[in-house]
Structure 1
Amino acid sequence: MRVINQTDEVPEKDIPLRDDIRLLGRILGDTIREQEGEDVYGLVESVRQTSIRFHRDQDEAARDELQSLLNGMSPRQTTRIIRAFSYFSHLSNIAEDQHHIRRNRAHELAGSAPRAGSMAHALLRAEEAGIDADRLDAFFAEALICPVLTAHPTEVRRKSSLNREMDIAQLLAERERVQMTPEEEEACAEALRRAVLTLWQTSLLRWTKRTVIDEVQNGISFYDHTFLRELPRLYALLEDRLALLDPDEARGEVPPFLRMGSWMGGDRDGNPFVTADIVSETLRLQSTQALKFYLEELHALGGELSLNRRNVRLSDALGELAERSPDRSINRQDEPYRRAITGIYARLAATARGLGQAEALRHAVGDAPPYASAAEFKAELDIIHDSLTANGSAVLARGRLRQLRYAVAVFGFHLASLDLRQNSDVHERMVGELLEAAIPGTGYGGLDEEGRIALLLEDLKTARPLGSAFIGYSDETTGELAIMRTAAEAHRKYGATSMPNCIISKADGVSDILEVAVLLKEVGLLRPLDGGLDVNIIPLFETIGDLRNSVGIMDRLLALPLYKRLLESRGMVQEVMLGYSDSNKDGGFVTSGWELYKAEIGLVEVFRKHGVKLRLFHGRGGSVGRGGGPSYQAILAQPGGAVQGQIRITEQGETISGKYSNAEVGRRNLETLAAATLEATLLQPDIAAPRRDYLTAMEELSGHAFKAYRDLVYETKGFEDYFWESTVITEIASLNIGSRPSSRKKTRSIEDLRAIPWVFSWAQCRLMLPGWYGFGSAVQAWLAEHPDSGSESEPNGGMAMLRAMHREWPFFQTLLSNMDMVLAKSNIAIASRYAGLVTDPHLRRGVFDRIKGEWQGSIDALLAITGQDSLLEGNPLLARSIRNRFPYLDPLNHVQVELLRRHRADSDEEYVLRGIQLTINGIAAGLRNSG
């Protein structure tokens, strides 16, 4: 395959990207020719060239020719075509990621001003705003930034494929950065050919259902090549940048404000496969990964620090550390640093054995006591650092040792903080069962909210547990309490940061939060007598109604003296999680975004009133329909006071591999989170609140958008049938890409469908409906009610008002920017072919015509407000990338539609379902952030 012949002139800076894509396309084409024969290669080229001709010239004859080519293929040819176009999308993604790295390096080499999203840019802005060193130090001391990896079923790539793609990325980087001899260049080219050939010969699909532990191991794999190495590197770079701000002031290491979290192995909401044993195994696997890394780094560090006592001075503490080592080798008697390190190694190996982990790859030199905590381990590393620094060898302390010390500070013995999440309905049933067994006739389930709160508060005043070892409880209650006991044990084994959070899905009342408090008391994680609470109790507000009620619920909760006392043991910090996915499915893109924004404003005010610090946990997905989009702009678009140095954000599905499979890209994404949080915390309060008339206008726009969305999705007769027939939702369930079902219940109801497959399905048919539907109707209705009046400089209605909102209000800018991106990825002509799968012609025409009209109306409104002549006019690189991908996506969509037609006609041919699954993979790769 070859890259598209550009119809527009490629900027000089983007020529390397074009060349990389051409190189990878050529290698892929050669691989197809060699492996599949000239006939398949010729067909791939015919499809490619015909699709390009149609997109370039809008040639209807080319479209008909393309359909004829694709419809006339044999099953074997169909599969090969799908794989060819799918792999081209994957390879193009690799090239684009490498180009982003290349452009960042070019800016740095040229001495350009720091770019937005970098810590250098954030610190420069802070300096210009007069933020002194003390305020910066206070920020990092109190901050908590935590990306939380979740295992949602939109990652369609296998780890085997991801590993080869990382190899290709590394080889492209070497070609860019290393001046190669002809022999070296040929060796690199051959290595690329090997990697592409291996990809071609590796199955794109999983043939067995993923288990929870599969998901856990997949998530852990990103630590080995990205998080464990790149996060300490980010800390070291930040430490050096802060030192430059005040060279005369001695600064220590940066506090571990940026940490990792995970839901993999702890999220039970709708996943019956997460048990106490699974949670325990997850914790063991995470800890094993961390300690394995530390042991390897200690071994390498011992090889580096061959300092002889005759040539260096050392601190008394270092001398004592060396003497305590079980290392009695005569060869190292004069090498105190090595002896100290072998002693540390021995203690860490003993710690690993005590935690049930396999023996280290290299045996310790002798027996030594295990560490009681990761802090004790780091304290001994600090002795080495302090001795080197105090005795003229500070540069040695700034290498591997500094990276290891930061790693231990951040990852401890637990690697990532594992969240527990469960639905409030489960907690309600558990508490009701425990109360009924302890106090017969309580009738907890029949009480109103006030009655429940009173009963729960009464129980929380006493240390007496409700449960009894002599009573048999339901499997649900027994299993859930076992998980909570596992959390208590994890605190003892791995430290309190190993499992610091309990999240309550579908929280809609104060009693939902108090129920969890009662359950935590049962396992010793809440102690009523001293007011101790060992984990954060976090309500998750998901639907539009929940978001609207969230402020009142938290106001009532924080007014309870008993609960306020518990928060004192948590540093007077209360976390609240906001759900982007379900609120979008419930109320549409515009209303979801607006209700989230309003909820944040209200929560900020309520928490300030009660003297409690707010930490928001943003449950975002990869796609715009699930709260996705650029993280930097999203954080800066939060209302003033919503980011108080503390923020947690989910990283879901294919977004994880897209952001973190490449180590350098991963570090820059982590840096962006830190930079945006710093700017939003220290600079955002100085930004004036939005004008009141902007808020009023947005409220009205949201109301109109909500009505349009609800009318279509929930009030149109037959819409559920339209959705299930016109998308690939049924076939997604067969992909083996997640451990839990796509629906909460065994129904076709939109209400019961999980938001992830909902959004993923609309992306596959190229409509992206959750990312824009309702906006066009909202603008049209608002303009009808508010005709133009006033001037452009002082607008008070009409289009002038909307343009001013876009120009001056970050929230509205981000809303439209994300919509701009998702509309650019949509294709109404392709979507119409999926609509053709709907068997009822009246339903098909009625629904699709409404969608098509709203799609065009939304584009027209977006362009009118932004002043653009075309979508993504302000982002030409992304526009060109999307435009050049379409000719490679369209054949996959065409084949998918035809295979869906055959599959639903009861075709039992194996290649049909397999082909559908392959097209899902390829389309997801071509669109990126689609889940």
Structure 2
Amino acid sequence: MKLSKKQAVFENEVLTRFELFNSLFMTLPFYQVKHTGTLLPFFTTHCERGVANKLDPETILESFFNEYKQYIGESDRIDLLFRIIQYIERQVVLFDAVEDSAFKKTGRSDEAGMLDSVFKLTENNKALRKKLIDKLQNFSLRLVLTAHPTQFYPGPVLSIITDLTEALKQNDIHNAHLLLQQLGKTPFMNKRKPTPVDEAISLAWFLENVFYPVASAIQSKIDDEFDISAEDINPVVELGFWPGGDRDGNPNVTVESTRQVAMLLRTVLFRCYYRDFRVLKRRLTFRGVEKYMDKLYDLLYENSFNPPQTPRNEKSHILQNLREIKRVLVEYHDGLFVELVDDMARKVKTFGCFFATLDLRQDSSILRQTHRYLREKYPDLAGISADFEQRDEAGKQAALQFQELDLRHDAAASALVADTLDVIHLIKEIQLSGGERAAQRFIISNCQQASDILELMELFLWSDWKRDSLHMDFVPLFETVDDLERAADVMKSLYTHKQYAAHLKRRGNRQTIMLGFSDSTKDGGYLMANWSIYKAKIELTAIARQYDVDLVFFDGRGGPPARGGGKTQRFYAAMGKEVVNDHIQLTIQGQTISSQYGSLDTAHYNIEQLLYAGLNSHIGQKDGDTLSVEKKELIDYMANVSHEKFLELRHDPLFLKYLERFSPLKFLSQINISSRPVKRNADRELRLEDLRAISFVTSWSQLKQNIPGFYGVGMALQQADKDGRWNEVVELYETSGMFKTMIDNCMMSMSKSNFDLTSYIQKDKEFGAFWQKMCDEFERTKTYVLKLSQSTTLMENYPVERESIAMREKIVLPLLIIQHYAIRQLQEEPDNEVYAKLVTRTIYGVVNAGRNLA
């Protein structure tokens, strides 16, 4: 088959170069991995044949060792397996670096629009250009970095990847060779679980080295295009941060860790400013600027290297000195180097004294406990009747008094109650040191009713906050299918509540609502989750417009399609007129941070794509993106068929048992990658509702079955075909960007599946039929998505990504064989620590290679 131009470039720039550098890497003389590099290609080929012949992992490994008689002893065999894991972990890093180094050459930027294409679209159309400028006055993209447990590379490895990518870009063979040696000797595992502060330090690397220069460069590009001065900019790219603030289900996040992370963000930012200032100082050697430069030096140096105990927001002081410096340059020095001053001013306007907004998040049940604690401790001051808990929702809303008080907890308060009240007080300190945007949002997980929001608002007023200076946004998080269905009613109750409506008015009538993709997928399956969220957005938009509320959707997206990932920008480009899309806000989680925003090139590309999606949906919206009544009915019909199919599987008694038996689910808690527990309510036996969606999706991806990313879609499409509605489905796919993206992302998820790997399970007496049921649905879905997309292979329209996935799957196949082998051995020897360690070690490489598997 003739390769497309993009495929040919990818093969030359990525696949061929990877094989070249991989051969160099595999011949490095590491004592610990002696001979492993020579054996690995034979082992990989052996695994591929074994899987193709549907052999179980024991047979595959035993037959391999029979060919290599030197590995006759059990200890020798185990030692080789560990060394193979070490090699493959580093092969994944090498492939990442090679692929990232060739990013601009592989033509991916042609797949979707960038900012330049938006600018070009409007350059000869004054009306359209004005529309775009107006849009930019009230448009923003907020990327929120989270610390969910899927960020596998430790800091030193991230640095090696960065340096190796740069060496490969320059074809610097000598430096690449040295870095490969460093890679071979650098540990890939943390010796202890990170604390929330450790997680913040790790992610701060991306803020400092990637987002700081890229966000500024993009803002500069927009300002230059529309001739906007540094004084008048409206920051388009904003950053958010969860490590240290997200305490939902994570008892390791405390008020002290929140305090430390807020200070960390501020200090790292000032060091970025200080580095920029030193460049400025080397150029501004003229008379007239000394006084202002000296003031800036003192301010930036102190806050960078000797931060005060009680820091203050210095943004206005920094900008004032920069304005004076610019004035001197313009009046007396012909504006020489004024662009450097403008660049620094642009960064200060974008990042202030906080760098990224530190979000606070807690589960609604904990907030209710805290509210109850204060009511019971101060019954007279609180002024709420004793029967509050027995009242219905309307009664609870009517009972709240919203008094301004200063109530404190005592030693009898539980740890979670004390933490909640302490952090509410701390937020005021953080805002003083970094400005309001340093910490202005409190997210309520598992939000089920309006009183969940109102009780939290009252907690702030009971904690010495005043109504007129309550600079906080209260953000409900709707996650399950049921919560999404109730969301519009909940928000209507809030918009019509006198106290909350007044608070919202003081906040500029802007309301942020967070929607969770992960738990909705676990709850309702892929198609129903996506449709429930889209439908909720339509309903929530209608309610907001009715009450003249400026609505912002904050999407809790993970890496894989099963958690809202995949081709995310295409979702935002396809929002119809019924969905507000003035602001794009989404979480960036786990290894998606390093894969999509780990280098300047990839970060610039992905941010511009999201900006393009939001801007283009405003000025170039397609008619098909606003769904007609008939199309909504069709998607709803298919979503319900899919939901029923998914629930049938989920309610099967073998569902969770299968996942525990064959996947590395129970081992996810043993890998030192996160301060966050794998499941809620860790003190009781595992239940599906307690299992975090990340762990749920990761376990299926390790099995290479990816159930949450496709299951039920095939049945829905088949039923539509049987009912004579296939032509409607085809028209929907061709006209609705939202539905097309759902199907395309489903194909991406399926491309990372391999049922041949687990085909040996079909012979299992207990689980054979269960495995077959999932395999049948995979084949059914594959048949129908190929028919719908008029393709012969999955992801046929995305050849570069398809080739990348195929290579990554090839690299990690031996890891999967080792993992499944060790899991099966543990069924016979549950306490064998060696096999348990084999399982945990393989998890890292599999997720890292997938780039968006968790």
Which interval holds the TM-score relative to the shorter structure?
over 0.9
Write the distance in 2 (CA, Å) between the matches of 1:240 and 1:883.
Answer: 41
Write the distance in 1 (CA, Å) between the matches of 2:784 and 2:106.
Answer: 33
Instruction: From the superposition, tell whether residues 53 and 881 of structure 1 become closer, same or farther in structure 2 (CA, over 3 Å).
Output: farther
Q: Give the alignment partner of residue 725 of structure 1, picking from 653, 656, 661.
A: 661
| Equivalence for 1:419 | 359
Q: Give the alignment partner of residue 677 of structure 2, picking from 727, 741, 745.
A: 741
Structure 1 vs Structure 2: percent identity of aligned residues?
25
Write the distance in 2 (CA, Å) between the matches of 1:257 and 1:41.
Answer: 48
Q: Give the alignment partner of residue 69 of structure 1, picking from 55, 64, 80.
A: 64
| Stretches of structure 2 lacking an aligned partner (at least 5 in a row) | 72-76
Q: What is the identity, as a one-letter code, of the residue corresponding to 1:414?
A: F
Residues 824 and 882 in structure 1, CA contact (< 8 A), matched pair in contact too: yes
Write the distance in 2 (CA, Å) between the matches of 1:10 and 1:688.
Answer: 30
Deviates more, 1:604-613 or 1:888-897: 888-897
1:239-298 Cα offsets, whole Å, 9 max, x none, are: 22234xxxxx98965321211101110001001111111111111111110111212221
Write the distance in 2 (CA, Å) between the matches of 1:534 and 1:8.
Answer: 53
Instruction: From the superposition, tell whether residues 391 and 833 of structure 1 become closer, same or farther in structure 2 (CA, over 3 Å).
Output: farther
1:827-846 Cα offsets, whole Å, 9 max, x none, are: 0111335777xxxx443012
Instruction: From the superposition, tell whether residues 668 and 12 of structure 1 become closer, same or farther in structure 2 (CA, over 3 Å).
Output: closer
| Equivalence for 1:800 | 727
Residues 291 and 413 in structure 1, CA contact (< 8 A), matched pair in contact too: yes
1:600-634 Cα offsets, whole Å, 9 max, x none, are: 01111110100111100000000111000123212
| Equivalence for 2:606 | 669
Q: What is the identity, as a one-letter code, of the residue corresponding to 1:403?
A: D
Where 1:260 maps in the other structure, the secondary structure is strand
Q: What is the identity, as a one-letter code, of the residue corresponding to 1:600?
A: K
Deviates more, 1:853-862 or 1:443-452: 443-452
Residues 393 and 451 in structure 2, CA contact (< 8 A), matched pair in contact too: yes
Deviates more, 1:134-143 or 1:915-924: 134-143
| Equivalence for 1:536 | 473
Instruction: From the superposition, tell whether residues 345 and 402 of structure 1 become closer, same or farther in structure 2 (CA, over 3 Å).
Output: same
Establish whether residue 340 from structure 1 lines up as the match of residue 280 from structure 2: no
Report the CA distance between 1:7 and its aligned residue.
14
Where 2:22 maps in the other structure, the secondary structure is helix
Report the CA distance between 1:469 and its aligned residue.
6.8
1:668-707 Cα offsets, whole Å, 9 max, x none, are: 2222222222222343387662232211111110111111
Where 2:423 maps in the other structure, the secondary structure is helix
Write the distance in 2 (CA, Å) between the matches of 1:783 and 1:888.
Answer: 38
1:186-222 Cα offsets, whole Å, 9 max, x none, are: xx32211111111111111112111111111111111
Where 2:316 maps in the other structure, the secondary structure is helix
Report the CA distance between 1:910 and its aligned residue.
4.6
Write the distance in 2 (CA, Å) between the matches of 1:15 and 1:437.
Answer: 70
Instruction: From the superposition, tell whether residues 336 and 543 of structure 1 become closer, same or farther in structure 2 (CA, over 3 Å).
Output: same
Residues 617 and 649 in structure 1, CA contact (< 8 A), matched pair in contact too: yes
Q: Give the alignment partner of residue 184 of structure 2, picking from 174, 179, 200.
A: 200
1:848-900 Cα offsets, whole Å, 9 max, x none, are: 11101111111111111111111111111122222233332221111111111
| Equivalence for 1:408 | 348
Structure with larger Rg: 1
Write the distance in 1 (CA, Å) between the matches of 2:485 and 2:268.
Answer: 42
* Aligned-CA RMSD value: 2.8
| Equivalence for 1:450 | 394
| Equivalence for 2:453 | 513
Report the CA distance between 1:904 and its aligned residue.
3.6
Residues 330 and 338 in structure 2, CA contact (< 8 A), matched pair in contact too: yes
| Equivalence for 2:74 | none
Q: What is the identity, as a one-letter code, of the residue corresponding to 1:233?
A: A
Instruction: From the superposition, tell whether residues 828 and 540 of structure 1 become closer, same or farther in structure 2 (CA, over 3 Å).
Output: same
Where 1:398 maps in the other structure, the secondary structure is helix
Instruction: From the superposition, tell whether residues 155 and 702 of structure 1 become closer, same or farther in structure 2 (CA, over 3 Å).
Output: same
Write the distance in 1 (CA, Å) between the matches of 2:80 and 2:568.
Answer: 41
Write the distance in 2 (CA, Å) between the matches of 1:252 and 1:415.
Answer: 19
Residues 426-445 of structure 1 mapped to structure 2, 5 A cutoff? 426-439=366-379, 442-445=386-389
Write the distance in 1 (CA, Å) between the matches of 2:194 and 2:119.
Answer: 43
Where 1:148 maps in the other structure, the secondary structure is strand
Residues 512-591 of structure 1 mapped to structure 2, 5 A cutoff? 512-527=452-467, 530=468, 532-591=469-528
For this pair of structures, how many residues does the alignment match?
Answer: 837
Instruction: From the superposition, tell whether residues 909 and 395 of structure 1 become closer, same or farther in structure 2 (CA, over 3 Å).
Output: farther
Where 1:748 maps in the other structure, the secondary structure is coil
Establish whether residue 607 from structure 1 lines up as the match of residue 604 from structure 2: no
Residues 835 and 844 in structure 1, CA contact (< 8 A), matched pair in contact too: yes
Report the CA distance between 1:644 and its aligned residue.
3.5
Deviates more, 1:759-768 or 1:10-19: 10-19
Write the distance in 1 (CA, Å) between the matches of 2:146 and 2:313.
Answer: 30
| Equivalence for 2:94 | 91
Q: What is the identity, as a one-letter code, of the residue corresponding to 1:379?
A: Q
Write the distance in 1 (CA, Å) between the matches of 2:586 and 2:638.
Answer: 27
| Equivalence for 1:271 | 250
Residues 624 and 737 in structure 2, CA contact (< 8 A), matched pair in contact too: no
Instruction: From the superposition, tell whether residues 582 and 835 of structure 1 become closer, same or farther in structure 2 (CA, over 3 Å).
Output: farther
Write the distance in 2 (CA, Å) between the matches of 1:895 and 1:19.
Answer: 27
Instruction: From the superposition, tell whether residues 19 and 388 of structure 1 become closer, same or farther in structure 2 (CA, over 3 Å).
Output: farther
Establish whether residue 488 from structure 1 lines up as the match of residue 485 from structure 2: no
Report the CA distance between 1:304 and its aligned residue.
1.6
Deviates more, 1:80-89 or 1:166-175: 80-89
| Equivalence for 2:329 | 388
Where 1:11 maps in the other structure, the secondary structure is helix
Report the CA distance between 1:92 and its aligned residue.
1.1
Q: What is the identity, as a one-letter code, of the residue corresponding to 1:919?
A: T
| Stretches of structure 1 lacking an aligned partner (at least 5 in a row) | 1-5, 108-113, 176-187, 244-248, 308-334, 359-369, 788-796
Write the distance in 1 (CA, Å) between the matches of 2:782 and 2:852.
Answer: 21
| Equivalence for 1:879 | 802
Q: What is the identity, as a one-letter code, of the residue corresponding to 1:44?
A: L
Instruction: From the superposition, tell whether residues 425 and 38 of structure 1 become closer, same or farther in structure 2 (CA, over 3 Å).
Output: closer
Write the distance in 1 (CA, Å) between the matches of 2:6 and 2:670.
Answer: 43
| Equivalence for 1:779 | 717
Residues 180-195 of structure 1 mapped to structure 2, 5 A cutoff? 188-195=172-179
Residues 295 and 321 in structure 2, CA contact (< 8 A), matched pair in contact too: no
Where 1:155 maps in the other structure, the secondary structure is coil
| Equivalence for 2:641 | 704
Write the distance in 1 (CA, Å) between the matches of 2:312 and 2:775.
Answer: 64
Instruction: From the superposition, tell whether residues 341 and 7 of structure 1 become closer, same or farther in structure 2 (CA, over 3 Å).
Output: closer
Write the distance in 2 (CA, Å) between the matches of 1:397 and 1:250.
Answer: 12
Write the distance in 1 (CA, Å) between the matches of 2:185 and 2:762.
Answer: 34
Residues 580 and 627 in structure 1, CA contact (< 8 A), matched pair in contact too: yes
Write the distance in 1 (CA, Å) between the matches of 2:790 and 2:577.
Answer: 27
| Equivalence for 1:765 | 703
Residues 137-216 of structure 1 mapped to structure 2, 5 A cutoff? 137-175=133-171, 188-216=172-200
1:384-441 Cα offsets, whole Å, 9 max, x none, are: 2343345564451223x33322221111111110000000111111112212233276
Instruction: From the superposition, tell whether residues 884 and 675 of structure 1 become closer, same or farther in structure 2 (CA, over 3 Å).
Output: same
Instruction: From the superposition, tell whether residues 561 and 371 of structure 1 become closer, same or farther in structure 2 (CA, over 3 Å).
Output: closer
Write the distance in 1 (CA, Å) between the matches of 2:699 and 2:801.
Answer: 23
* TM-score normalised to structure 2 length: 0.93
Residues 192 and 672 in structure 2, CA contact (< 8 A), matched pair in contact too: yes
Write the distance in 2 (CA, Å) between the matches of 1:49 and 1:687.
Answer: 47
Q: What is the identity, as a one-letter code, of the residue corresponding to 2:173?
A: A
